[in-house]
């Protein structure tokens, strides 16, 4: 195959997977429409993700607005720091991602360079749009959030969210109550996010509006052994750790238990979601030979993160593409929103047996403080309670002034108190999935070409679980009552909850090719033998093998094939 990307995009546009948005007005880079087949495939992949995170893991899904008030993104750091380094070509006036220009010429570490270093590096490089040398361009930061106003009169600034995660963090207190005040717990969300990318030229890989599926899992900061770790302890997968990257080695295939015990992965929670992510990606049809998990290097990992990994999928056009991120973000997000909002984002954890502690309590003498300090008496009392004054008095800070408080203004007594529990700020484990990139990876990895009977056969070898059309039904010819039988067969299969496409147009071989090209895994043909013995031909897309099946057994058989309970060769 020559350029598989061009062939996939041609197929996707022609058959109704992906279309340029508002094409009649001149489509805009960074936006796409999902056509009839693409929309169905997208829903199937999203529901497989839900099967893992909601059904298997037990995390409920919530849905938050795509527009948020400014305070949310001040707290999260997006207002101040969510930017890319941009420059403008002096020849064609095209805006460019400066680090992408450098990376396009194999300059490593461009994403972590300063603006000054990038300016120096790219000045001799050609503009990817027009080919002219960039020269003395200025590299500057460009915030990627779409800004808007909430309500009339521009009184309140808002932003289209650049990720789905913040809504789950700001809902922490209500989620805590929903989960009956117990750790660990989590919430998930699938929805649109927005980033005003500078120069998106990578189709589905870099969009300005895209779909994310994220989970926020709140755990005890000192208890990061996953309660169900045994599920994935023996799961093997390729890990491209810091040592392998620095030494120029290859990813190592290890079990999750080994990865944690050797310190390659920080803790069981991170390892658990690395394995779960690998399982999801393979389930939807990503080629495991083109999948690796790369650990963030120290200079690219967020300062507050304990550990961070990217699931990277190999593309023929784009190389290794970051598709999923899994991070232990510690308590950064909760503390940031606590500071900005003034609300407390904590969990009260009762002890099994209340603890007894000896404490010193200060009792301000308000009868004496009032006449002496008048309106400032309460401030003095509060300051006293924050100290442990001695028998000779204490000096406190009162509005920037040092004030001596004599012993007659307070009392001190030592007492034993019962402590029922403690308040903690949980840590957050965050797996974040780019659904659009997952869809492209499945399309690329499933695309195949072969010569059958001197004709080219294009086929998407999609898993039945993600194929938009699951079964096709054909009458051999559109006469002699075959169409009526085929329609009744189609209805019977639909009653099993499967998506069926009925097609009586053209030669039977051409109809098979149409379904192969959109990835339909099974096809049913009604022929003249059907009128005699009530059997039909069931065809498998990948092997092109055929078997005769009684009509009465067909719906349940096809359902079992789609669900993976049986394989075609068993028939």
Strand locations in 46-155, DSSP E?
60-61, 67-69, 83-88, 95-97, 140-143, 147-150
**Topology, domain 84-143:** Herpes Virus-1 (3.30.40)
Partners of 255 in beta bridges? 236
> What gap in Å lies between CA 329 and CA 283, rounded to an integer?
27
**What are the start-end ranges of the H helices in 196-354?**
242-247, 256-261, 268-284, 332-341
Question: Do the beta carbons of residue 30 and residue 206 sit within 8 Å?
Answer: yes
Judged by DSSP in three states, 238 sits in: strand
> What gap in Å lies between CA 263 and CA 247, rounded to an integer?
17
> What gap in Å lies between CA 305 and CA 547, rounded to an integer?
55
> What gap in Å lies between CA 440 and CA 444, rounded to an integer?
6
> What gap in Å lies between CA 163 and CA 330, rounded to an integer?
18
Partners of 361 in beta bridges? 413
**Superfamily of 469-570 according to CATH:** Anticodon-binding domain (3.40.50.800)
Question: Do the beta carbons of residue 531 and residue 483 sit within 8 Å?
Answer: no
Judged by DSSP in three states, 489 sits in: helix
Distances (CA, A) of 567 to 285, 495, 516, 560, 563: 16, 21, 18, 8, 10
The answer regarding whether domain 4-82+144-333+429-436 maps to CATH 3.30.930.10 reads yes
Token pair, residue 125, equals 């490089």
**Residues with Cβ < 8 Å from 510, sequence gap 6 or more?**
none
Provide the residue ranges of all domains of the chain, joining segments of one domain with +: 4-82+144-333+429-436, 84-143, 351-423, 469-570
Taking the chain (571 residues) in consecutive chunks of 10 residues, what is each chunk's mean pLDDT? 83 96 91 97 98 98 96 93 88 90 87 88 90 89 91 85 96 97 97 91 90 98 97 97 94 97 97 98 97 95 95 95 97 96 94 85 86 86 81 83 86 84 96 98 96 91 97 96 96 97 94 97 97 96 96 97 94 87
> What gap in Å lies between CA 56 and CA 215, rounded to an integer?
13
Residue 154 is predicted with a pLDDT of 66
**Residues with Cβ < 8 Å from 74, sequence gap 6 or more?**
80, 340
Residue 1 is predicted with a pLDDT of 44
The answer regarding whether domain 351-423 maps to CATH 3.40.50 reads no
């Amino acid at each position: 195959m020559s350029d598989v990307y061009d062939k996939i995009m041609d197929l996707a546009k022609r058959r109704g997977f992906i279309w340029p948005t508002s094409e009649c007005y001149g489509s805009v880079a960074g936006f796409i429409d999902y056509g009839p087949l693409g929309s169905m495939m997208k829903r199937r992949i999203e529901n497989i993700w839900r099967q893992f995170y909601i059904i298997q893991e037990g995390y409920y899904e919530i849905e938050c607005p795509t527009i948020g008030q400014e305070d949310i993104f001040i707290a999260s750091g997006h207002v101040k720091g969510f930017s890319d380094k941009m420059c403008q070509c002096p020849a064609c006036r095209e805006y460019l991602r400066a680090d992408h220009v450098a990376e396009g010429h194999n300059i490593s570490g461009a994403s972590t360079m300063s603006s000054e270093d990038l300016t120096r590096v790219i000045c001799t490089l050609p503009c990817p749009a027009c080919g002219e040398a960039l020269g003395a361009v200025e590299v500057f930061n460009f915030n990627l959030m779409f800004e808007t106003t909430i309500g009339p009169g521009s009184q309140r600034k808002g932003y289209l969210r650049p990720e789905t995660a913040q809504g789950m963090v700001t809902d922490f207190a209500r989620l805590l109550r929903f989960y009956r005040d117990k750790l660990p717990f989590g919430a998930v969300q699938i929805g649109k996010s927005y980033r005003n990318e500078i120069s998106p030229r990578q189709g589905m890989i870099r969009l300005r509006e895209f779909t994310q599926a994220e989970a926020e899992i709140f755990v005890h900061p000192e208890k990061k052994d996953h309660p169900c770790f045994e599920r994935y302890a023996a799961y093997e997968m390729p890990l491209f750790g810091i040592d392998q990257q620095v030494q120029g080695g290859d990813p190592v295939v290890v079990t999750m238990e080994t990865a944690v015990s050797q310190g390659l992965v920080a803790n069981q929670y991170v390892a658990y979601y690395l394995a779960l992510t690998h399982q999801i990606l393979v389930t939807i049809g990503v080629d495991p030979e083109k999948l690796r998990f790369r650990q963030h290097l120290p200079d690219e990992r967020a300062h507050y993160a304990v550990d961070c990994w990217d699931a990277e999928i190999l593309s023929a056009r784009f190389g290794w593409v970051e598709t999923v991120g899994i991070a232990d973000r510690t308590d950064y997000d909760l503390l940031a929103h606590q500071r900005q909002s003034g609300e407390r984002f904590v969990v009260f954890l009762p002890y099994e047996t209340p603890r007894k502690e000896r404490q010193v309590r200060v009792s301000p003498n308000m009868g004496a403080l009032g006449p002496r300090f008048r309106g400032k008496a309460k401030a003095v009392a509060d300051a006293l309670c924050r100290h442990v004054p001695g028998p000779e008095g204490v000096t406190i800070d009162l509005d920037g002034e040092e004030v001596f408080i004599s012993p007659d203004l307070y009392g001190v007594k030592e007492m034993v108190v019962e402590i029922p529990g403690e308040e903690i700020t949980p840590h957050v484990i965050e797996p974040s999935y780019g659904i659009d990139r997952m869809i492209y990876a499945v399309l690329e990895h499933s695309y195949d070409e072969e010569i059958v009977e001197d004709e080219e056969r294009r086929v998407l070898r999609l898993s039945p679980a993600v194929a938009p059309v699951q079964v096709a039904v054909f009458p051999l010819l559109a006469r002699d009552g075959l169409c009526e039988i085929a329609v009744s067969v189609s209805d019977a299969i639909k009653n099993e909850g499967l998506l069926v496409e009925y097609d009586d147009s053209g030669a039977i071989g051409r109809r098979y090719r149409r379904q192969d090209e959109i990835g339909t895994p099974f096809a049913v043909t009604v022929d003249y033998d059907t009128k005699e013995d009530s059997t039909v031909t069931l065809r498998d897309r990948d092997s092109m093998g055929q078997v005769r099946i009684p009509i009465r057994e067909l719906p349940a058989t096809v359902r079992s094939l789609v669900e993976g309970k049986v394989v075609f060769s068993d028939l």
